[in-house]
A and B are shown apart, each in its own frame.
Chain A
Amino acid sequence: MLFFNIVIVGLFFAVLSALLPFFIPARWSLLSKLTHFSLLGLAGLALVMSGFLTLIMKSSLYLTLSPLSISFIKASLHLDPLSGFFLCLIGIITIAIAFYGPSYLKGYENSKYSLKAMFFFTGLFLVSMSLVVLANDLFSFMFSWELMSLTSYFLVMSHYEEAETRKAGLVYLLMAHLSGLCILFAFGILVKFGNGFDFQSMQAAHLPIIWANLAFILAFLGFGMKSGLVPLHVWLPRAHPVAPSHISALMSGVMIKIAVYGFIRFNFSLIGQLHWQWGIIVLFIGSISAVLGVLYALMQHNLKQLLAYHSVENIGIIFIGLGLAILFICKGYPMLGALAMIAALYHSLNHAVFKSLLFLGAGSIYQSTHEHDLNLMGGLIQRMPQIAFFFLIGCVSISALPPFNGFVSEWLTFQAFLQVPLIRSNTVRFIVPIAAAMLALTGALAAACFAKVYGITFLGKPRTDRVAEACESGIMMRFSLGLLALFCLLLGILPTFLIRWINTIPMSLLNVGLAPNNLNHWLWITPIDPNVSSYSALLVFIGVIIICVVSWIVLRPLQHSFSFKKVTAWDCGFGGLNKRMQYTATAFAMPIRRVFKNIWTVEELKTNEDEPKNKIVVRDMSTYELHVQDNIWLYIYEPIQTVVDKISKLVSYLQQGNIRVYLAYSFFTLLLLLLVVL
């Protein structure tokens, strides 16, 4: 019960962080900020503690909330390793945000936007996410799920005065509710066959195959929409960038993982018998999302939008792992299923950490430059050296490069892929190598994308004056980023401990985990067998450092003087390299845009204004515009929008605005109803 008490204390802190700022007078805004964020941090700490303890003690606890129960619906909570893992994930990011928030919100103090409202919704957002993870029955699950959607909607609308924000908010609200509806129906099927609203009776249900398929499809749609799988991702790159950065970090880092939690809980614990065809579907959609997510991201030059598209990519990678897990479990290799699931869970945590790091970094950049456009930045490594360092770690991690954390989870996913030939099924054998190829392509393109992000933002010469005058962020913000960067490194070089802890999740869900003797080596990950594969991240990390240091020391005495000469770069003898001659983000991605040109709808607008020919000095009058559009929005969503528009226009003929017409409507309706009744 102790763990539950810690969770309750955490939730209590979160509620306090939402409510207390209302009791602090407006002129003490610093106090209200500090109260909010310190309580939020305490809440995060409590969540991490309880989640972590649950994970290592492998305990499963249940709690019935009798005061909240209505007649036959009994609200109850549970805390098992899966919930514990996601509580940890929520908590870690919350702690980082608690350090980051106070100085980030400096700009908001004297603005028209209400901080108190933001605090209120942030606190409730945290509570609702934790409750989704803890819920043990349909009632509390759906209640907290909807609360999560609503509070996050209000947070997205923080800058409500901008038209773009309102548009994004509308799209988000619509899709969040559609997903809620799908999930409700999916659970409804389980409730129907399980004769009960709590998860235990759902587990006991035996579903006919058609209903099981329907429940799976609905759940996949619902959770996939909320987590941003292609083609249901369109809300994500709209809603995440318009929110304040710490909220984007919470949404992109944590909220979409809650949908992943829902998917895991639904499929691996509740629905009962899995079918391998589902695995193929999940794998297929996952790999499409991964590739399209990264390709769309490559074309963005708004930093936060780019990061949001990368969430689509990473969610794709997570679902690839889950799809593989379903495949293996159905085909009788539960141990490999556990491996794939561990890879997916590991990637969820990794993505939460590095995506929050990058979003918070984007917030720091915005705070000191007021720019989101990559093409206007440059040279920030000189102005903000520490932020630049932490951001670099985030970029390396998300690009899945060793020895950082993104690589570990991709490595595990690939290991799961390589065991697929064990499965004796031609469909599987045909699909899976293609999915593996797509995952490999995703990794390579992600590296290209983040080379672009980092190179254009932080390196080279500043492209605008405002960027040239940027200054380093506050110490707490740097600390928060440093904390997350440290997590990226630790998760990268000490993966064996984490894998051992995560292993309790498949143990509790599927009653099978990785072979215990493969978990004993703390230095090497050997998921299947040391002879099959091994990777020692710590040794790679130490090796790189040692060789760097040795080569530096060895080469030092060979040079004439230690100080190197600084000169201007080679300009072909024409003189005057300037900031406009550098490659921009658009230019950097141009070769890739040309290679995959059918993925986007690219619109190039060139205008060449005529100048008198006899002028010697031709002023630059030509303009160039490039619009790269998401094809999915263009070909799926816009037609839907037009149809809806047309239907609503038709409906509008009914609305004449004349009171007599409306009276006639009511009269005829009444008549009709009377006819029916009589």
Chain B
Amino acid sequence: MKIYLMEICQALLFLILSPLLAGWIKTIKCVLQNRRPPSIFQAYRNLIKLFLKQVIVPQEASWIFRFTPYLIFSVVVLLSFIVPLIIANVSSSSAYFSLGDVIVLVGLLALGRFFLVLSGLDIGTTFGGMGSSREMMISSLAEPSTLLVFFTLAIIASSTNLSYIVGHFATSQFIFRPSFIFALLALCMITLAETGRIPLDNPTTHLELTMVHEAMILEYSGRYLGLIEWSAQIKLMIYFVLISNIFFPWGIATDLAWHSLAISFLLIIIKLAICGVVLAVTEMSTAKLRLFKAPNFLSLAFVLCLLAIFSHVILGVG
């Protein structure tokens, strides 16, 4: 029973911490650009502002346009139940059932994206269609890589259950695996693609020719926009947590003792902060790719995934 309670706490942590992470990345970027950063809590204020504003909806919009923000939000919240944040694989308890595994995670993200793409087409503008079309190109190339990365990890841990994967890496003795390096690199590249970051997309741009994610949500306002932005922040945090907890699982709690939970919590905050710095530096030091260079970037990620899975399966390391 306790473990399910912990899952709810983790989901709440995701909800609360994700705007802070977004604020942290923004702060780092500002510092790197020699600008004075806004308060680190600015993201919360933005969300509250959006939630209080009146909603303006384009005339052509159908119920899909109004339903999508709620759906996307519920998808990422549901995912935050699946992704282990501070606790993984409590082996002592009897058979523990997860809501879903990594394949469900990828599937649910795809569900959210599907509806976002539909709502981009729903309003009948050029921008909406443009964003949707590009998003679909990028994601249809990124999604197979995501699955393959998780397959590599699932084969090593012989489980697709995220909590077990993380628990496996946290408790088993550290072995240097070449497949790990490839998988880590690929997952980082996918994170950039899936969360709409430079070099594939730019969350701060509103230039016609370069928008992808922003073009789709251009017509959203008020609480709808608030929900979508919050979901994007949670999604970014989910990817960060996946990277840090799978590849650097040190210190994650594997039992329900208070002190291990506290250490695990502190460590994940530090890990997330480091991830944020790495992302900010990456974004600062690269330029956005032309849209049709994106497939090259994504196929590199795909090749890395294949290398990861082959180097594990054929070399049989670990």
Contacts and interface: CB of A to CB of B under 8 A. Distances in A.
B223 interface: yes
B64 A583 contact: no
A441 interface: yes
B313 A455 contact: no
B227 interface: yes
B126 A583 contact: yes
Interface in B261-286: none
B125 A581 contact: yes
A133 to B, nearest CB: 32
Interface stretch (A173-181, A344-352, A556-564, A605-613): A556-564
A436 B60 contact: no
B155 A539 contact: no
B148 A437 contact: yes
A533 B56 contact: no
Given A418-B155, A433-B310, A560-B54, A555 B223 contact: yes
B121 interface: yes
A402 B108 contact: yes
A559 B222 contact: yes
B211 interface: no
Nearest to B131: A583
A474 interface: no
A421 B310 CA distance: 11
Contacts of A526: 97
A592 interface: yes
A11 B292 CA distance: 57
* Of listed A382, A407, A579, residue having the most chain B CB within 10 A: A407
B291 interface: yes
A592 B151 contact: no
B60 A587 contact: no
Interface in B37-66: 51-64
Given A551-B73, A581-B126, A583-B121, A595 B55 contact: no
Interface string B134-167: 1011011111100110010011001111001000
* Of listed A430, A445, A544, residue having the most chain B CB within 10 A: A544
B125 A459 contact: no
A510 interface: no
Contacts of A595: 137, 141, 292, 295
Interface stretch (B98-106, B183-191, B236-244): B98-106
Interface residues on A, range: 35 or more
A639 interface: no
Interface string B62-103: 111001001101110110010000000000000111111101
Interface string A436-458: 11001101110110111011101
Contact of A429 (B132, B158, B161, B314): B314
Contact of B58 (A411, A447, A455, A567): A567
Contacts of B99: 535-536, 539-540, 543
A591 B133 contact: yes
A534 B95 CA distance: 11
B118 interface: yes
A594 interface: yes
B21 to A, nearest CB: 20
Given A421-B313, A592-B140, A534 B74 contact: no
Nearest to B112: A401
B130 interface: yes
B73 A592 contact: no
Contacts of B124: 378-379, 459-461, 569, 577, 579, 582
A595 to B, nearest CB: 5
Contacts of A410: 103
Given A566-B57, A567-B56, A443 B97 contact: no
B107 interface: yes
Contacts of A566: 56-59, 61
A565 B161 contact: no
Contacts of A433: 148, 151, 306, 309-310, 313
A410 B147 CA distance: 12
B219 interface: yes
Nearest to B108: A402
Given A415-B160, A565-B57, A401 B107 contact: yes
Interface residues of B, number: 88
B97 A558 contact: no
B60 A379 contact: yes
Contacts of A437: 144, 147-148, 302, 305-306
A552 interface: yes
A540 B160 contact: no
Contact of A436 (B148, B292, B314): B148
A589 B107 CA distance: 22
B144 A440 contact: yes
A536 B125 contact: no
A454 B137 contact: no
Contacts of B226: 555
A417 interface: yes
A459 B95 contact: no
Contact of B159 (A532, A577, A579): A532
Nearest to B298: A595
Shortest Cβ-Cβ A-B pairs, 6 listed: A583-B129, A455-B121, A547-B74, A460-B124, A591-B137, A440-B144
17 contacts: A379-B124, A381-B63, A400-B107, A402-B104, A430-B310, A434-B306, A440-B144, A455-B132, A532-B158, A545-B74, A548-B74, A551-B73, A551-B74, A559-B54, A567-B56, A569-B58, A581-B125
Given A440-B144, A447-B110, 20 more contacts: A401-B107, A402-B108, A411-B104, A417-B151, A418-B155, A429-B314, A437-B144, A445-B140, A447-B113, A447-B139, A459-B64, A531-B159, A534-B97, A540-B100, A555-B223, A567-B56, A567-B58, A577-B125, A583-B126, A591-B137
Interface of B: 51-64, 67, 70-71, 73-75, 77-78, 81, 95-101, 103-104, 107-108, 110-111, 113-114, 117-118, 120-130, 132-134, 136-137, 139-144, 147-148, 151, 154-155, 158-161, 164, 218-219, 222-223, 226-227, 291-292, 295, 302, 305-306, 309-310, 313-314
Interface of A: 378-379, 381-382, 392, 396, 399-402, 407, 410-411, 414-415, 417-418, 421, 426, 429-430, 433-434, 436-437, 440-441, 443-445, 447-448, 450-452, 454-456, 458-461, 521, 523-524, 526, 530-536, 539-540, 543-548, 551-552, 555, 558-561, 564-571, 577, 579, 581-583, 587-592, 594-595
